[in-house]
Structure formats: structure tokens, C-alpha cells
Amino acid sequence: MYSSDGFRQIDDETFTLRIPKGRDFRILQLTDLHLGFGFISRGRDKLALDAVRKTVKKAKPDMIVLTGDSIYPFLPKAGTLNNRKQAKKLMEFLDGFEIPYTLVFGNHDCEMGSTCNKEELAKLYKQGKYCIFTEGRKNLTGVGNFLIELVDNSGKVFLPLVMLDSNMYGEGGNFFTGFDCIHDDQVDWCMERLNELKQAYPDINAMAFFHMPLREFKEAYEKMKLGDRSVIYRHGNIGEKNDHFGISKFEGTFFDKAVENGVIKWMFCGHDHLNTLSLIYKGIQMTYGMSIDYLGYNGMKKNYTQRGGTLITRKADGSVDIMMVPLGAVVSTRVRGVKEK
Ligand SMILES: [Fe+2]
Ligand SMILES: [Fe+2]
């Protein structure tokens, strides 16, 4: 577990991290690394690790948040089911930056048939020298529902980061039966924690990080395309074919409850590697992180406009700035009939 003077674990679902007043705090969201660390994925892993290195160097973050599918124990593509080894290698790699990092699980980190379940992976991640992680409250759905509260010198909380496990596949239990969502007990837990914070700090705003997009993200996008001016476009686009959002077949109450509760102002997800959209809907900015993946999607090596990270800057004046950090040039020079140099 990460350790420093300004960092404390309060209980099994809460951490505090002290940030000196009067300076910006930079969080780099990285998502869908899909690291295989198997004999077939070696070349692509190297590309992914290089991409992460470059993105971190560019963004110079104070903290890194991985929003799921960090490792990929999928035999046909990685050549291994050993997600214990994958998690260890990932941890070693991330510890090398000497920057605190945290993560949520995606649908692939504990793919069917993999060596470790989420509880075992959690135990492992807690050993990371710079890793901030905990299983979270017992008996709650998912593993890794917890809060990192950014506090100032006086211990006053100014920005809670809510980490949520958006689970895997729901009924049917595999990729083809559809995705699960954040369950009601997690939603209740989250709102209960935010209500407590709201009582102590009436103006507090929070960020939430999870893997799978909410169906309301898609709803907002479609409304925006139909000219609904209440949806505010911020950046990015939907690069998935046919405007695809990998949302759950279950309704899920997280978004509505968050709007009602009013504390969460920013939500960050991954999962759809080609989507980078960020927009504001009903007072909440929903953002797809730029992704890293070279291994998950077929032919992903040559796609590049989606690759990189997302830099979230909480400025000293309290405002929040969310920026894409593309890995390479985003403007293609490709023109039909002209060979690219
Ligand atoms: Fe993914
Ligand atoms: Fe995913």
C-alpha cells in the first residue's frame, strides 16, 4: 500500500490524501490497458507499456486512476489465464513511476477461467508500493468500492473520489450475455457516504470512477445529436461502430440517484475503447477516458485517435479541467488516392 505523510487509511472503505492548499492536483485517468503478459502478447504489451510511459510523461500527474480492464487474462489473445502474474507485472510497472495510483475492476480483469478472483487480486494490489486499494465494505456487491478523500492541510475534505466496481456480466455470466451494472446496494452505500460528506461540507462535489458507461451517457449523446441544447458537449467522440455504447441491459439507478443527491459532478469510465466523448447531462459531466488497448480489439494497433489518457486537473481555485492527452498526432493526413508518408 502507498505510504506517505499525507496519506491515511481511515477504515476499510476510506482513505484520505492531503493536498497542500494553493496548488493544482492532477489526476491521470488511464483505461483499458489490456495487458496480457503472455507469450502471444509480448509485442503488443510492449506497445501498451510504452504508450502508458509516454502518456504519464506528458501529463505529469500527481495520481493515476485506472478505470478497468487493466489486465486481460484471455487465453486466445494473451496466451495465459494467469491474472496473478499479470497483476504483479502491472504493479511492478506502475510502482516504477513512484506516483500513487488506484484502480477499479473492469469486466476483463478476472475473465472466466482466470487464476485469481477479484478478492485475490485485491489482496495483491494492496501490496503495491504506490497502490491505493481496498476491497471496501463487506457484503456489498463487487470488490473495490471505496473513497479516496482529498483533504487540505487542516483535514477538511475538498474532493472525494468514489471508486466503484461496475461488475461484470450479470445473469449468464459471460461476455455474450450482456453487461452488469452498479447494483442498488452499491448505489445506496455511495449515496449514504456522500450524504455524510454533504452534512459536513454543504458545497462539496465529488468524482466517480468506474469501468462500464451508464445508459444515461448514451441517452445524453442521442439527445445531443437530436439538438437537445441541455446536453453540453465538452470533447471527444463516439468512435465505436454504429454509435455503440457498451451499456448494461439492466436499468441501474446510479445516475438518477447521483443527480438527486447532487454531490457527484464528474463521472469517468472506460470499456468502449474507441469512445472518448465527454459531455454534461443533468449537471454531471460524463467522460470516456482515452484508452491504451493494443490487444483487446482486433486490429487496434493501427487505430490511434482514441489512444492516450485523460487529465483531470483540480485547480487551486476549486475549478476542474478535463483534457484529453492523446498519445500521438490526432489529425490524420490520410487522403484517398494519396499514399501516406
Ligand atoms: Fe476493455
Ligand atoms: Fe470492458
Residue 91 three-state SS: helix
CA of 280 to the centre of ligand 2 (A): 22
In the structure grid, which three cell numbers stand for residue 213, read together? Answer: 458507461
Residue 102: predicted pLDDT: 98
Mapping DSSP onto H, E and C, the string for 171-235 reads: CCCCHHHCECCCCHHHHHHHHHHHHHHHHHCCCCCEEEECCCCCHHHHHHHHHHHCCCCCCEEEE
Residue 330: predicted pLDDT: 63
Residues 234-289: pLDDT tens digits?
999 999 999 999 999 898 999 999 999 999 999 999 999 999 999 999 999 999 99
Q: How confident is the model at residue 331 (pLDDT cuts 50, 70, 90)?
A: low
CA of 189 to the centre of ligand 2 (A): 23
First-to-final CA distance of the chain = 47
Of 165, 169, 162, 245, residue with least CA distance to 204: 162
Answer yes or no: are the C-beta atoms of 274 and 242 closer than 8 Å.
no
Could you tell me how many helices (H) and strands (E) the chain has, helices first? 7, 15
Backbone angles phi, psi at 13, to 5 degrees: -140, 10
Ligand located closest to 210 CA: 2
CA of 175 to the centre of ligand 1 (A): 11
Mean pLDDT of the region 212-235: 98
CA of 34 to the centre of ligand 1 (A): 6
Residues 163-215: pLDDT tens digits?
999 999 877 667 777 899 999 999 999 999 999 999 999 999 999 999 999 99
Which amino acid, one-letter code, is at 20?
A: P
Residue 146: predicted pLDDT: 98
Mean pLDDT of the region 293-311: 95
Q: How confident is the model at residue 340 (pLDDT cuts 50, 70, 90)?
A: low
Of 334, 322, 113, residue with least CA distance to 234: 322
Residues 30-42: pLDDT tens digits?
999 999 999 999 9
Count of other CB atoms within 10 angstroms of residue 129: 14
CA of 149 to the centre of ligand 1 (A): 27
Taking the alpha carbons of 107, 108, 114, 118 in that order, is the dihedral positive or negative?
A: negative
* Per-residue b or e along 241-274, where b marks 16 or more CB atoms closer than 10 Å to that residue's CB: eeeebbbbebebbbbebbeebebbbbbbbbbbbb
Residue 265 three-state SS: strand
Residue 197: predicted pLDDT: 98
Distance CA 122, CA 117 (A): 9
In the structure grid, which three cell numbers stand for residue 44, read together? Answer: 503488443
Q: Which CATH superfamily is domain 7-326 in?
A: Metallo-dependent phosphatases (3.60.21.10)
Residue 333: predicted pLDDT: 66
In the structure grid, which three cell numbers stand for residue 77, read together? Answer: 489473445
Q: How confident is the model at residue 225 (pLDDT cuts 50, 70, 90)?
A: very high
CA of 296 to the centre of ligand 1 (A): 6
Ligand located closest to 291 CA: 1
In the structure grid, which three cell numbers stand for residue 21, read together? Answer: 492548499
CA of 288 to the centre of ligand 2 (A): 12
Answer yes or no: are the C-beta atoms of 281 and 287 closer than 8 Å.
no
Q: How confident is the model at residue 338 (pLDDT cuts 50, 70, 90)?
A: confident
Count of other CB atoms within 10 angstroms of residue 52: 24
CA of 271 to the centre of ligand 1 (A): 4
CA of 112 to the centre of ligand 2 (A): 14
Residue 46: predicted pLDDT: 98
Distance CA 330, CA 341 (A): 16
Residues 46-79: pLDDT tens digits?
999 999 999 999 999 999 999 999 999 999 999 9
Residues 73-132: pLDDT tens digits?
999 999 999 999 999 999 999 999 999 999 999 999 998 899 999 999 999 999 999 999
Distance CA 13, CA 3 (A): 16
CA of 201 to the centre of ligand 1 (A): 36
Residues with a beta carbon under 5 angstroms from ion ligand 2? 69, 106-107, 271
Domain boundaries, the chain: 7-326
Ligand located closest to 71 CA: 1
Mean pLDDT of the region 284-313: 96
CA of 166 to the centre of ligand 2 (A): 10
